[in-house]
Amino acid sequence: MGEALIELKDMGLTLPSSAGNVEILKGIDLVVEAGERLAITGPSGSGKSSLLMVTAGLERATAGQVTVLGQDMTAANEDSLARLRRARLGVVFQAFHLIPTMTAAENVRVPLEIAGADGAEETASEMLESVGLGRRADHYPAQLSGGEQQRVALARALAPSPALLLADEPTGNLDGRTGEAVSDLLFELAENNGVTLVLVTHSDALADRCARTVRLDDGRIAA
């Protein structure tokens, strides 16, 4: 049995809303080992994205234990979580979330610069080359297509060589062909970089490419 990168024990998430508290996640127990390819599926509103957010430390669990990359996520403060992400954890979103005022190359460079890594420029160029966007390095997000933006986001997430990559519907905003190209790239890069991959998806085809699938239903693991 490999090293457990993610350990969720009886994890719950309850968020306040105008209609009262809403229980988003309930009693989640999940372990993800190094090198795994895990897909999280389920209908809309089942809590897939929230599970990913809690794992990334972007949302704080309200019950249970969350340990990611050896860090107790429920006890750590925001800056400790930020340090964890900058060094060992990459995230890719459905809506790309690139910084609009920066070029593609600058977007890729940001996490390396935040971490104070050497050779940020060279690494960023290599990463852009590896996603096929070496020639679009100086373009702003608004000047790139959706597929290109997601490839930049992928390069940005993998630039610091994280141990864990979390992807939330990475092809959800893309057409079928572009989505396929991006998912090919996602798996290829994860493989080449030896990254553990957890992805949230509606797509059965994408889930089928993962070794394991966890299905959520109404905030609980159904299968």
CB of 67 to another protein, least distance (A): 19
Nearest to 104 by CA among 131, 70, 128, 85: 128
Contact between 101 and another protein (CB under 8 A)? yes
Calculate the dihedral angle through the C-alpha atoms of 85, 89, 93, 97, rounding to the nearest 10 degrees: 40
Nearest to 153 by CA among 71, 208, 94: 94
Q: Which of 4, 31, 34, 87 binds another protein (CB under 8 A)?
A: 87
Contact between 113 and another protein (CB under 8 A)? yes
CB of 167 to another protein, least distance (A): 12
Task: Between 41 and 107, name the residue whose CB sits nearer to another protein.
Answer: 107
The owner of tokens 């998912």 is 183
Whether the Cβ atoms of residue 83 and residue 19 lie closer than 8 Å to each other: no
Contact between 99 and another protein (CB under 8 A)? yes
Q: Which helix (H) or strand (E) holds 12?
A: strand 4-17
**Contact region for another protein (CB under 8 A) — 1-9, 65-73, 107-115, 176-184?**
107-115
> In a 3-state reduction of DSSP, which class is residue 31?
strand
CB of 208 to another protein, least distance (A): 25
Q: Which of 9, 33, 74, 83 binds another protein (CB under 8 A)?
A: 83
End-to-end CA distance of the chain: 21
**The amino acid at 100:** P
Contact between 37 and another protein (CB under 8 A)? no
Q: Which of 32, 48, 93, 133 binds another protein (CB under 8 A)?
A: 93
Question: What span, in angstroms and rounded, lies between the C-alpha atoms of 74 and 95?
Answer: 27
Nearest to 120 by CA among 104, 101, 106, 131: 106
Site for another protein in 160-189 (CB under 8 A): 160
Q: Which of 25, 56, 189, 200 binds another protein (CB under 8 A)?
A: 56
Contact between 66 and another protein (CB under 8 A)? no
Cβ of 129: how many Cβ atoms within 10 Å?
13
Given the rule CB under 8 A, which residues bind another protein?
49-50, 53, 56, 58-59, 78-79, 82-87, 91, 93-95, 97-103, 106, 109-111, 113-115, 120-121, 138, 156, 160
